Structure 1
């Protein structure tokens, strides 16, 4: 670690990393740390996910400890070694690593890849684009269903793709932000319920819930504040409604940004989805003050930007408090 946590220098570095992500995204020709983390998880899963349920649960706990801790240690060791060579080189490396933990541009591009063919009336292309970012069946979705899928994706992934790594970065720089991404990758690979991962992935799923708990709720406040001041939206009653409706979501965290975005847009999210042809009913969030259309995708992207900018602004008082205390 080259910079102190909760410091102006680290906050400036995080802001610069966000700017880099906004400008460049994740070029396919650059190696990405999450890809390497995913390969390690897959290798450990093949070696550890076997035997009785109790043994798989125990190894799953080890997986949830070893991968994030190992990721943190590798990043910290790299930055420490580079700092011995040149402090400037270490800061440049930390900036590059931090930029990989954010998905601001990538999330917006993925949503717009659904919106653009919808604007042309090309439902087939929009369904293919949505199918690349969601697990639900998309073959029979109309414009409203496609818009809902894109809006829900933007709302939910604002937390794990932007604001949560932002929060953890301010507390521990690139090493802690990358450790968070390791937890997030664990959850996406082994943390869902299925016969294969029910026992082995339980600890990873619980850890992901824990590390996203506070960022999800901070994001809701940040979105609401940004909507009041800059972005626009139906803010009246949105906070109270979000607190009331978010627990309906099966995830303890995803329902918070989804409910807030639904109320700010004046639409209803959730409802019926199909997975592998099987229906799945999810509690509805928000009020259908207007029908979901393609224009809501771009509005959701604006609330995404309001969310991370708001979280960044909310961190300024924390840095001021640290400066005052020391």
Structure 2
């Protein structure tokens, strides 16, 4: 079975991935996205040392993406010896590109705290999913931040992966996840990453 045949089974693969997400969720360890992050961290010093920071960041993206997609291709081809195994492995791979249950788990404490009138608890909860200082936020702004986070998380953490899966299979879904991971790690407009992370920021915006 060739990689291209993945497109023949999108519904089955999607259903398996959703079932795994609902029933199991994300593992605390050995998650593929964590693996991507670790690989980026390990290789970043090598490419950051390049004189041309934009080129260095771009080469880092290429190296990590190529390596992961190559491994993914090998795994898919090996699993294709059996139809059921192929569907299960493909479903697990697709599941690794999104995290609906995890997103709900992060936002639930905020909602529960707000229902109890516990503003301090809601601030603690929202601080775990946004990057800015939330110590002064009251209920309206906490709600706004929560809605914004859910919306962004749904797009980045689910819709993007499913969209690219629908048009480019597992490779597309995984590449979208790689791009999002890069943006969250180095796509900042600060002193260190303004140039080095430029390609990552542009890539994530384009996707």
Offset from partner CA, 1:294-318 (integer Å, 9 cap, x none): xxxxxxxxxxxxxxxxxxxxxxxxx
- 1:51 and 1:3 map into 2 onto residues whose CA distance is 37
In structure 2, the residue matched to 1:224 is none
By how many angstroms is 1:186 displaced?
0.5
Structure number with higher relative contact order (C-alpha < 8 Å, ≥ 6 residues apart): 2
Question: What SS is found at the alignment partner of 1:173?
Answer: helix
By how many angstroms is 1:88 displaced?
2.4
In structure 2, the residue matched to 1:36 is 35
Aligned mate of 1:66, from 48, 63, 68:
63
Q: Which runs of 5+ in 2 are unaligned?
A: none
TM-score, normalised via structure 1 length: 0.60
- 1:149 and 1:69 map into 2 onto residues whose CA distance is 35
In structure 1, the residue matched to 2:45 is 46
Aligned mate of 1:143, from 139, 159, 180:
139
Contact 1:11 / 1:170 at 8 angstroms: preserved in 2?
Answer: no
By how many angstroms is 1:22 displaced?
2.7
Where has structure 1 moved over 3 Å in runs of 4 or more? Answer: none
Contact 1:4 / 1:10 at 8 angstroms: preserved in 2?
Answer: no
Higher strand content, 1 or 2? 1
Offset from partner CA, 1:130-150 (integer Å, 9 cap, x none): 111100111111111111111
- 1:167 and 1:64 map into 2 onto residues whose CA distance is 21
CA distance 1:12–1:92, shift in 2 (3 Å): closer
Offset from partner CA, 1:178-208 (integer Å, 9 cap, x none): 2221111001001111110011111111111
Q: CA RMSD in A?
A: 1.8
Aligned mate of 2:90, from 76, 90, 94:
94
- 2:19 and 2:112 map into 1 onto residues whose CA distance is 24
- 2:132 and 2:46 map into 1 onto residues whose CA distance is 30
- 1:24 and 1:18 map into 2 onto residues whose CA distance is 10
Question: What SS is found at the alignment partner of 2:171?
Answer: helix
In structure 2, the residue matched to 1:10 is 10
In structure 1, the residue matched to 2:179 is 183
* 1:122 partnered with 2:122: no
Question: What SS is found at the alignment partner of 1:4?
Answer: helix
By how many angstroms is 1:65 displaced?
1.7
TM-score, normalised via structure 2 length: 0.91
How many equivalent residue pairs? Answer: 206
Question: What SS is found at the alignment partner of 1:197?
Answer: coil
By how many angstroms is 1:19 displaced?
3.1
- 2:109 and 2:154 map into 1 onto residues whose CA distance is 17
- 2:23 and 2:6 map into 1 onto residues whose CA distance is 25
Higher helix content, 1 or 2? 2
By how many angstroms is 1:153 displaced?
0.2
- Max Rg structure: 1
Question: What SS is found at the alignment partner of 1:63?
Answer: helix
* 1:113 partnered with 2:109: yes
By how many angstroms is 1:157 displaced?
1.5
Contact 2:12 / 2:87 at 8 angstroms: preserved in 1?
Answer: no
Contact 2:127 / 2:134 at 8 angstroms: preserved in 1?
Answer: yes
